[in-house]
Chains A and B, each alone.
Chain A
Amino acid sequence: MRRTLRGVVRDTAYLLCMLFTSLTSVLLLFLLAVAVGSTVVAGMGLVLAPLAVQVVRRWTDVHRALAGWVLGEQVPRRYRPLRGGIGSWMRQVVADRMTWRDLGWLAANAVVGLVAGAIGLFFAGTPPVTLFTMFFWWLAPVDDPLHMLMGTPVTSWSAALATGLGTLAVSVPSGVLVVPRAARLHAAMTRALIGRSTADELERRVEALTEARTGVIDAHGAELRRIERDLHDGTQARLVSIAMRLGMAKQALGDDPEVAARLIDDARIGAESAMGELRSILRTMYPPVLTDRGLGGAIHALAAQSGVPVQVDVEDLGLVSAPAEAATYFTIAEALTNAAKHSGASVARVTVHRTGDWLSTTVEDDGCGGVDETRGSGVVGIRRRIEALEGAVHIDSPHGGPTTIKVELPCGS
Chain B
Amino acid sequence: MRVVIVEDNVLLAEGLALMLERAQLEVAAVAADAEGFHAAVAEHRPDVTIVDVRLPPSYRDEGIRAAIAARGAYPGLPVLVLSQYVELVYAVELLSGEGGGIGYLLKDRVSRVEEFIEALRRVAAGGTALDAEVVAQLLTRRRGHPLAALSPRERDVLALMAEGHDNSTICEKLHIVHSSVHKHIGNIFAKLGLAPGDTGHRRVQAVLAYLQTRH
Contact = CB atoms under 8 A, between A and B. Distances in A.
B141 A307 contact: yes
A217 interface: no
A373 interface: no
A32 interface: no
Contacts of B138: 305
B85 A308 contact: no
B60 A301 contact: no
Interface string B83-118: 011011100100000000000001110011000000
Contacts, number: 54
A307 B140 contact: yes
Contacts of A307: 140-142
A101 interface: no
Contacts of B140: 305-307, 340
A195 to B, nearest CB: 52
A293 B60 CA distance: 8
A297 B89 CA distance: 9
Given A305-B140, A307-B140, A307-B141, A271 B111 contact: yes
A257 B108 CA distance: 26
Interface residues of B, number: 24
A265 to B, nearest CB: 10
Interface in B111-144: 111-112, 137-138, 140-143
Instruction: Identify the interface centre among B59, B60, B142: most chain A CB within 10 Å of its CB.
Output: B142
A229 interface: no
Contacts of A309: 215
B61 interface: yes
Interface string A286-300: 001101110001001
A250 interface: no
B61 A293 contact: yes
A102 B84 CA distance: 62
A304 B85 contact: no
Interface in A294-339: 297, 300-301, 304-309
Interface stretch (A130-138, A232-240, A272-280, A395-403): A272-280
A384 interface: no
Given A271-B111, A291-B60, A340 B87 contact: no
Contact of B88 (A276, A301, A308): A301
A306 B87 CA distance: 12
Contacts of A340: 140, 142
Contacts of B143: 344
B116 to A, nearest CB: 12
B108 A292 contact: no
A97 interface: no
A292 to B, nearest CB: 4
A279 B108 CA distance: 10
B108 A304 contact: no
Given A268-B111, A275-B108, A292-B60, A305 B88 contact: yes
A283 interface: yes
Contacts of B61: 292-293
Contacts of B89: 297, 300-301, 304
Nearest to B142: A307
B88 A304 contact: yes
B143 to A, nearest CB: 7
A95 B3 CA distance: 73
Contacts of B111: 268, 271-272
A288 B141 contact: no
18 contacts: A268-B111, A275-B106, A275-B107, A282-B85, A288-B84, A288-B85, A289-B85, A289-B87, A293-B61, A301-B89, A304-B92, A304-B137, A305-B87, A305-B138, A306-B140, A308-B142, A308-B215, A344-B143
Given A279-B85, A304-B92, 18 more contacts: A268-B112, A272-B111, A275-B106, A276-B108, A282-B84, A288-B84, A288-B85, A289-B85, A289-B87, A291-B59, A292-B61, A301-B88, A304-B89, A305-B88, A305-B140, A308-B142, A309-B215, A344-B143
Top 7 closest A-B pairs, CB basis?
A309-B215, A305-B137, A292-B61, A292-B60, A275-B108, A305-B88, A301-B89
Interface of B: 53-54, 59-61, 84-85, 87-89, 92, 106-108, 111-112, 137-138, 140-143, 212, 215
Interface of A: 268, 271-272, 275-276, 279, 282-283, 288-289, 291-293, 297, 300-301, 304-309, 340, 344-345
